Amino acid sequence: MQVLVTGGAGFIGSHIVDRLLLRGNDVIIYDNLSSGFRRHLEPALKTGKAVLVEGDILNGRKLVKAMKDVSTVFHLAANADVRGGQADTGVDLRQNLLGTRSVLESMRTTGASEIVFTSSATVYGEPDRFPTPEDYAPLQTSLYGASKLGAEAIIQAYGEYFGIRSCVFRFVSWLGERYSHGVVYDFINKLRANPKELEILGDGNQKKSYLHVDDGTKGIFLALDKISGLKNVINLGHVDYIDVKSVARIVSDEMGLKKVVYRFLGGSRGWLGDSPLVHLDLSKIKQLGFYPNVGIEEGLRRTARYLLENIWLLDIRKMK
């Protein structure tokens, strides 16, 4: 089966590509390389079973051409900066909402029959139910979350109109090899600049449920192999959570820094749209046999070690 992965050169996307190849698929990687890296794809491209097409998902003509003879689309291409929508209020609309519509239009044109969409726990806004289930009715607190929820709605509508089967996964933050943005990335770069002091957004008590990429990709394919139905929405996260102060201590420890002063900027959330607690109800995916193997602390340490061994990834964002 031939599969197309938008955003396939990114952190999560490149791991999805690797899993697809192991399953015997031919893979078309569609990425504009604005935040992904060709270097992540070197093992995949060497197999001869994967090809990279450089293009933007808003370029419908190019996307249709790349999607010829494809049955399933893994749609990961998106703006991943939750905070960015405050400075540029159009970025989430363009890249997440209109980008998803462009992917669906290309699927309608080519006859691709299934979309796997990476949504986000941010669609729940700032919930008051924990763990938060898939049927929680959210009030939006960020343009990013609103754009992801809107993309989910458009996907479901295309499914109703054109029979496109959808599997929507609502993610927590992921950790692991090839990780290229997020709290661990930010903390390491800040500590490289000043090993004595670390500025932390919020009060440090924000609690997040981080998932290692090995567990995340395992969960996706476990669900895809077992679920049925035209429209599916599934939470994917960790059973545990950790506070930001503990993340800072773990990162400092991995860098060999013992006397770092933590300076908190205050408030219960790191930025507008940030939720003080992210903890998803995993009942649906656990019924399929999912359980994370990598503990959150282990995932944080593995991520920090990977970044410290791949300094190019820490430096390259400064050049973009």
**Average pLDDT for consecutive 10-residue bins of the chain (320 residues)?**
96 98 98 95 98 98 97 95 81 95 98 98 96 96 95 98 98 97 96 97 96 98 96 98 98 97 92 90 98 98 98 78
pLDDT of residue 318: 58
Strand partners, 85: none
Alpha-carbon distance values, 121 to 146, 175, 188, 197, 283 (Å):
11, 15, 24, 30, 15
How many other β-carbons are positioned within 10 Å of the β-carbon of residue 295?
Answer: 15
pLDDT of residue 81: 77
Tokens linked to 256: 């060999």
Catalytic: which of 30, 124, 136, 144? 144
Please state the domain extents for the chain.
Answer: 2-174+212-236, 175-209+240-276+293-319
Would you say 53 and 6 are in contact if contact means Cβ atoms under 8 Å apart? no
For the question of residue 241 being annotated catalytic, the response is no
Return the ∠ at Cα 259 (arms to 256 and 265), rounded to 5°: 110
pLDDT of residue 293: 98
Q: Is 17 exposed, middle or buried (0-12, 13-18, 19+ CB in 10 A)?
A: buried
Q: If DSSP codes are grouped into helix, strand and coil, which group holds residue 130?
A: coil
Could you give the CA distance from residue 184 to residue 317 in angstroms, rounded to a whole number? 14
Q: If DSSP codes are grouped into helix, strand and coil, which group holds residue 287?
A: coil
pTM of the model: 0.96
Would you say 114 and 73 are in contact if contact means Cβ atoms under 8 Å apart? yes
pLDDT of residue 115: 98
Q: Which residue has 């960020």 as its token pair?
A: 142
Would you say 28 and 74 are in contact if contact means Cβ atoms under 8 Å apart? no
* CA 230 remoteness from chain centre: 23
Q: The domain 2-174+212-236: what is its CATH number? A: 3.40.50.720
pLDDT of residue 113: 97
> In the CATH hierarchy, which top-level class contains the domain 175-209+240-276+293-319?
alpha beta
**Pairing between β-strand 207-208 and β-strand 165-171 as defined by DSSP bridges:** unpaired
pLDDT of residue 271: 80
Q: Look at residues 175, 179, 204, 187 and name the one whose alpha carbon lies nearest to residue 294.
A: 175
Return the H-helix or E-strand segment holding 300: helix 296-309
Q: If DSSP codes are grouped into helix, strand and coil, which group holds residue 32?
A: coil
How many other β-carbons are positioned within 10 Å of the β-carbon of residue 190?
Answer: 17
Task: List phi, psi (to 5°) of 299.
Answer: -60, -40
Q: If DSSP codes are grouped into helix, strand and coil, which group holds residue 129?
A: coil
Could you give the CA distance from residue 148 to residue 122 in angstroms, rounded to a whole number? 8
pLDDT of residue 313: 95
Q: Is 11 exposed, middle or buried (0-12, 13-18, 19+ CB in 10 A)?
A: buried
pLDDT of residue 199: 97
